[in-house]
Structure 1
């Protein structure tokens, strides 16, 4: 049984990830702003309400770890903030809102969790094909895609800085998955991969890939819009 910390668990891939791990007998710590009824009902899931856009949004979880120390086997940064606007309309506040969740929140939660991670632990950052250098880009996603590029580099840097710890840090850059966020970005587009299918892939990767990869960016994309 593994202890798994997952962000962005109120819907989409994050919700399915939490349920898939829990249904497989693992202990899940689910972090998101709003709870989902299915999470609260599951005996293997502990929910913490966190707001990654707030300066102290992770404090309650940090306090919990200090008073209830536990080994974190898997940390999955899945939470994502999306703003779709033409670049000319994007404000500094828009960029800050996106980066607080997609980059700063990843950095802060990693700082909190690292003291509880050990040799063999695995951090998986969920990025996007839009963050891959040279990939197809889409108008209106300047803040989102640039943040996903930033978090890829952050994860690569963590792998380098902690390479002697035995902890692995990897990135999955996802293509189109049928989620609420995809519908917000590309209304009417139907992805060939469901949230549950992608969640099962991510779960298997999180449980096993640290034996084979560290500091790697894997593109997981059957299609893009």
Structure 2
């Protein structure tokens, strides 16, 4: 049995799309993928995020090995924009004389909603599920024709997908749905070596953490075996990059708890 020598650019030649890539976890994942050699396309939603997206791209393109990177604006909660985002990504690859291959898709874009059961409206349901679940499904469908053998789909779920938190029913259930899609897609797509996995972060120091009730975060920190703290963006990004690379090629249909041991699966 021969073991391959590790490369300092293990994702060289790969192209990755990271949704919700202008800030927080998405920005960290995009940068770490680029550090490992991937060309990166980040997707952001609102005009106010354009500057943040530009900042991420600037950090990536300033790396010593000069990876390619771009940002694309698109609202993945709509029916049409997921395919438009992929079309724009393909046009960008063509303009850089690159094959129309997307090797890695990180479905990170998501939205939270803190609201008690009795006050949830159909509009609230649509706001959460249209992005967290349908958006991930539609952009994955759009990527599929351009996903070569050995592709990687990584869904960013949450420990909330397997926990019960008051007033977070829509968010937690949407993340459970994403886990279910992960397992089914892994069963469908594995014939050519494509893997599909989910990562379930616990609380991570990022913008989204500010939207979670403080008592939930404090309780999670107290129950986290590793140092009684929240995680960092870098710690989650490294797990995602492992799943994006060759070292994880025998892992599919799995949900990895990235929570410092708060959730043990």
Is TM more than 0.5 here? yes
- Listed one character per residue, the Cα deviations across residues 100-119 of structure 1 (whole Å, up to 9, x for unaligned) are 11100010000011111122
* SS of equivalent residue, structure 2 residue 172: helix
| Rounded Cα–Cα distance in structure 2 between residues aligned with 1:171 and 1:208 | 16
Correspondence 1:34-53 to 2 at 5 A:
34-35=49-50, 36=52, 37-41=54-58, 42-43=60-61, 44-53=68-77
Q: Give the superposition deviation at 1:209.
A: 5.1
| Rounded Cα–Cα distance in structure 2 between residues aligned with 1:105 and 1:210 | 25
Does the aligned pair in 1 maintain the 2:152–2:243 contact within 8 Å? Answer: no
Q: Give the direction of change, closer, same or farther, for the CA distance of 1:223–1:181 in structure 2 (3 Å limit).
A: farther
Correspondence 1:10-89 to 2 at 5 A:
10-33=22-45, 34-35=49-50, 36=52, 37-41=54-58, 42-43=60-61, 44-65=68-89, 67=91, 68=94, 70-89=100-119
* SS of equivalent residue, structure 2 residue 81: coil
* SS of equivalent residue, structure 2 residue 153: strand
| Rounded Cα–Cα distance in structure 2 between residues aligned with 1:14 and 1:146 | 21
Q: Give the direction of change, closer, same or farther, for the CA distance of 1:111–1:4 in structure 2 (3 Å limit).
A: same
Does the aligned pair in 2 maintain the 1:170–1:214 contact within 8 Å? Answer: yes
Q: Give the direction of change, closer, same or farther, for the CA distance of 1:65–1:21 in structure 2 (3 Å limit).
A: closer
Does the aligned pair in 1 maintain the 2:72–2:88 contact within 8 Å? Answer: no
Q: Give the superposition deviation at 1:57.
A: 2.0
Among 141, 155, 164, the residue aligned to 1:137:
164
Structure 2 match to 1:91: 121
Q: Give the direction of change, closer, same or farther, for the CA distance of 1:167–1:95 in structure 2 (3 Å limit).
A: same
Task: Select the structure of larger CA radius of gyration.
Answer: 2
Q: Give the direction of change, closer, same or farther, for the CA distance of 1:159–1:95 in structure 2 (3 Å limit).
A: same
| TM-score (normalizing by structure 1) | 0.90
| Rounded Cα–Cα distance in structure 2 between residues aligned with 1:131 and 1:32 | 24
* SS of equivalent residue, structure 1 residue 29: strand
| TM-score (normalizing by structure 2) | 0.77
Q: Which runs of 5+ in 2 are unaligned?
A: 1-11, 62-67, 219-228
Q: Give the superposition deviation at 1:74.
A: 1.0
* SS of equivalent residue, structure 1 residue 163: helix
Q: Which runs of 5+ in 1 are unaligned?
A: none
| Rounded Cα–Cα distance in structure 2 between residues aligned with 1:224 and 1:48 | 35
Q: Give the direction of change, closer, same or farther, for the CA distance of 1:186–1:206 in structure 2 (3 Å limit).
A: farther
* SS of equivalent residue, structure 1 residue 64: helix
Q: Give the superposition deviation at 1:213.
A: 0.7
Does the aligned pair in 1 maintain the 2:158–2:201 contact within 8 Å? Answer: yes
C-alpha root-mean-square deviation of aligned residues, in Å? Answer: 2.0
Q: How many residues were matched structurally?
A: 222
